[in-house]
């Protein structure tokens, strides 16, 4: 995954919060009162709200229009209440903010973010070599993390911060953020056997609620088979 430090979320992205996950597993040492709290938000482009128009309004709309360059942030932007749909193949972008609830300065703050899939755990942010020497009271530090999603199913983002209190006591806080990665396409395969040939038919269906643009569809057979495209223009 890729990450970079940020001070504020850039427009035109909208922050989509993820519900905090289940409690930490047994055996994880955490601060009694969380001095640091994670806020994880998905970066996603906002959509526009289009109110229903009457026949008269449609006529007026046809006479004049506002150039897109004059459109800025306004009440017409829809800010989704949830984390939103996430599909296989997308680049998942998350805005991670580490906020201090402490009234005292913390030291040697190390931030780590990992993504747990059904088969592996991926490191998105490793702060072991770039920990924060001091962290001011009520302060915050922000990151943008990016990762290409290559598995469908449940994903859990694990955010961990270790630090030292003013007393010299080392503490650790950990939060979990869960989301579901869905398949955007359904592929149905049919085989037809005729003499020395095998005819393969693939039916691809868009199972999302949005239109998709397919830039390339390619079938690559394994050895010793060869392929011949029978589709129009193939």
What DSSP state is assigned to residue 226?
Answer: -
Residue with tokens 């755990």: 121
Domain of 174 in residue numbering reads as 2-46+79-182
Average pLDDT over the chain, rounded to an integer: 77
Cβ distance 176 to 193 under 8 Å?
A: no
In a domain, 137, yes or no: yes
> What tens digit of pLDDT does each residue of 30-51 get?
444 589 999 988 887 665 555 5
Length of the chain as a residue count? 234
Global pTM reads 0.66
**CATH number where 109 lies:** 2.60.40.10
The Cα 166–Cα 160 span in angstroms is 20
Both tokens assigned to 126: 């490793």
In a domain, 165, yes or no: yes
In a domain, 113, yes or no: yes
pLDDT higher than 80, residue 228: no
With a CB cutoff of 8 Å and minimum separation 6, the contacts of 150 are 88, 89
pLDDT higher than 60, residue 62: no
In a domain, 68, yes or no: no
In a domain, 134, yes or no: yes
The Cα 129–Cα 131 span in angstroms is 6
- How many domains in the chain? 1
In a domain, 69, yes or no: no
What DSSP state is assigned to residue 222?
Answer: P
In a domain, 26, yes or no: yes
Cβ distance 173 to 160 under 8 Å?
A: yes
In a domain, 164, yes or no: yes
Angle at 1 between CA 121 and CA 36, to 5 degrees: 75
């Amino acid at each position: 995954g890729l990450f970079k430090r940020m001070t504020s979320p850039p427009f035109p992205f909208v922050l989509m919060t993820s519900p905090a996950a289940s409690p930490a597993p047994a055996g994880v040492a955490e601060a009694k009162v969380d001095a640091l709290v994670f806020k994880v938000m998905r970066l996603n482009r906002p959509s526009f709200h289009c109110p229903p128009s009457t026949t008269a309004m449609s006529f007026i709309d046809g006479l004049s229009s506002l150039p897109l360059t004059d459109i800025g942030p306004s009440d017409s932007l829809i800010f989704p209440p949830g984390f939103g749909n996430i599909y296989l193949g997308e680049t998942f972008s998350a805005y991670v903010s580490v906020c201090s609830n402490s009234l005292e300065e913390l030291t040697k703050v190390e931030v780590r973010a990992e993504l747990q899939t059904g088969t592996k755990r991926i490191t998105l942010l490793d702060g072991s070599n770039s920990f924060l020497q001091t962290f001011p009271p009520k302060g915050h530090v922000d990151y943008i993390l990016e990762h290409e999603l290559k598995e469908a199913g449940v994903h859990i983002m694990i955010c961990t911060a270790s630090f030292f209190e003013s007393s010299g006591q080392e503490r650790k806080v950990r939060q979990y953020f869960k989301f579901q990665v869905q398949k955007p396409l359904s592929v149905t395969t049919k085989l037809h056997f005729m003499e020395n040939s095998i005819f393969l038919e693939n039916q691809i269906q868009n199972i999302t609620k949005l239109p998709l643009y397919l830039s390339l569809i390619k079938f690559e057979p394994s050895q010793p088979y060869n392929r011949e495209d029978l589709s129009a223009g193939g």
